Amino acid sequence: MFFIAGINRKREQLDYYEPIMCSACTKYGRFEAYVEYSVLSLFFIPIFRFGKKYYARTTCCNSLYLITNKEKGLMMERGQGHNVFLKDEDLMLIQKGFSGRTCPNCYNQVSQEHNYCPNCGTKL
């Protein structure tokens, strides 16, 4: 008998948008949330999900946070995100985002001390 099975990582965007004043870059932005999980598949049919983790990413500087409050993550996943407000104690910073500038010509991320884009030479 021949079996085809596998485990894959999946990510789904959640319907959650919360306007914030970012603590990483001190600019206005919003949280966008998503869930990552592993899926056991048998004959390419998903059978079992496990290892769910909920994340929030800021739109201003792309800082990444792990949502440590699982109940709030479940509420977002069930479509009740309008009732959820993330607090500092619900989040754990995983990766601090970029707080510099973006080139208007090539959209390259440029640090604050540059007057010209190092990628295309456009004056900033």
Residue 107 has pLDDT above 80, yes or no: no
| Range in 2-6, 101-105, 120-124 the model is least confident about | 101-105
pLDDT per residue as tens digits for the range 6-20? 999 999 999 888 899
Residue 90 has pLDDT above 90, yes or no: yes
Find the mean pLDDT for residues 82-87. 89
CA 32 to chain CA centroid, nearest Å = 6
Cα atoms in the Cβ-side hemisphere of radius 13 Å centred on 81:
17
Find the mean pLDDT for residues 34-51. 92
**Residue 47, amino acid:** I
- What confidence score (pLDDT) does residue 22 get? 86
pTM of the model as a whole: 0.74
Q: Are 74 and 68 in contact (CB under 8 A)?
A: no
Residue 55 has pLDDT above 90, yes or no: yes
Residues 6+ apart with CB under 8 A from 60: 22, 25, 27, 28, 29, 97
